[in-house]
Amino acid sequence: MTQQQQQHDKVVSNQTSWLAWIELACVVLLNMSINLRWLTFSPVAALSAEYLNVNISAITWLSNCATLIYIAICVSTGWVFEKYGIRTCFLLAAATNILGSWIRYFGTFAPINQRYPVIMFGQCIASIAEPFIMNIGTHFAAVWFATHHRVTANTLQALPLGMIVATLSMPKLVTSPDDLPRALLITSCISTVFGIPFLFLPSGPKVPPTESATVSRITFRQSIKVMLRSRNYLLLIFVFSINFAMFASIVSITSLIFTPQGYSNVQVGLFSFVRIISGVGGAIIAGRITDWTGRHALVLKVACVMTVVTTVILYVQDLANSYSFVMVSCFLNGFFVFLIIPVSLELAAECTFPVSESVSASVLWLVSQVSSFVTTFIMDALRAGPDATPPHNMKHALIYAIALACCGAIPALFLQSDLKRIHRDRHAVEEELQDPSCQDIQELSAVSSQEKHA
């Protein structure tokens, strides 16, 4: 077979290898361990504060520090990726997450007045992992997956499995302050187990799944110019950062929202679980619909509008004061708000092609992390005082969340499905199908098939 025919087979097949799904599973599990480590303290904020001898705001900063670390090293992750590739980024993410997790655990052996600084240091070290795995998610999908699987791959990478595990397990693992060291030990072991496989995984597939995967990406400086000139991408920055900030902030302060209303930590954990698991379902459904139809912009428009509606419902649940109503409001809000994240990342890669997917994603994540930090800080500041009814409630924070949702929905209405990368892949397939040598191969395949049936 000639080299031209081999190249044709590589492009026209447009298939995702079985190894890609194994690699994706490892990425999903690593991401889960990172999120689990990030949210170790939030579901049991009061007990964590008692064990570490600090106030509730100090516990919130154990989550906020991840945002500051991300902002500080975001640009350097792009340099590491360009110089050393995907595999090195995954190895760094795994290594820093493992190291930081164990530092947190060993911090529990320190005197009570030194526990918080040591654990905060470990949390900061482990937080270095997040930008390395978040920024290259779309590029990983582009390198390993065929066109009709890319949104699904992005969706699975973005699944908040660690949040689900944290919100369900932490209230049961930590029923008293003295249970916290055991929880930190378990998270350290999980981080270690899910980080080891990256020592053995390859950096890329032997055969590129699509033609666009073989295209050289433009330089960082050129990428910035392309992104600044892309109306769609600029709109996506607002849509993505605002909705991510609202989602992440509410996850961080879920305990502060519902415990003043008399709900237990276990019940609050179930609220978070329902909100996150519905988001997983919504993201998977939206990912498959987007893969099949290519209607990225329409999916985002519907999701952003419904996010406004469901955030209002989340606010009025306080008036209903009903356990079942809270469950329904959390389910609806999570279903729509989370699917915005993977679809936005994929549309950003499409509308800015041939900008490197890691660059377009890095900018989105950077802005969203800044937005998340500011939003969490503002929501925490909006917590009512001890004289309010009920004391320390978060009603004003939820009103702020409604305003944020509205700000995220308006630019979404002007988005368009500008799918440059998909069009490039389809055009390449059409050209090669018209090539005489390709037609000969198809005729031979047809004859061979007829002979087998005969």
- Please report, for the domain that includes residue 272, its CATH number: 1.20.1250.20
Beta carbons of 81 and 135 less than 8 angstroms apart: yes
Tens digits of per-residue pLDDT, 39-50? 899 888 889 999
Pick the more confident residue, 153 or 30: 30
Q: Report yes or no on 104 lying in a domain.
A: yes
Average pLDDT along the chain: 83
Place of tokens 């004061």: 321
Q: Report yes or no on 159 lying in a domain.
A: yes
Q: Report yes or no on 4 lying in a domain.
A: no
Lowest mean pLDDT among 19-28, 285-294, 317-326: 317-326
* pLDDT band at residue 447 using 50, 70 and 90 as cut-offs: very low
Structural domain count of the chain: 1
The confidence score (pLDDT) of residue 79 equals 73
Beta carbons of 135 and 154 less than 8 angstroms apart: no
Measured CA to CA, the distance from residue 322 to residue 7 in angstroms comes to 61
Q: Report yes or no on 424 lying in a domain.
A: no
Arithmetic mean of pLDDT, 207-213: 68
Pick the more confident residue, 142 or 252: 142
Tens digits of per-residue pLDDT, 391-446? 878 888 889 999 999 999 999 999 987 778 777 777 665 666 566 555 554 454 44
Q: Report yes or no on 70 lying in a domain.
A: yes
Return the top range by mean pLDDT from 35-49, 90-104, 233-247, 275-289. Answer: 90-104
Q: Report yes or no on 211 lying in a domain.
A: no
Task: Note down the domain range covering 264.
Answer: 17-205+218-418
Compute and round to an integer the Cα radius of gyration of the chain: 23
Q: Report yes or no on 265 lying in a domain.
A: yes
Q: Report yes or no on 271 lying in a domain.
A: yes
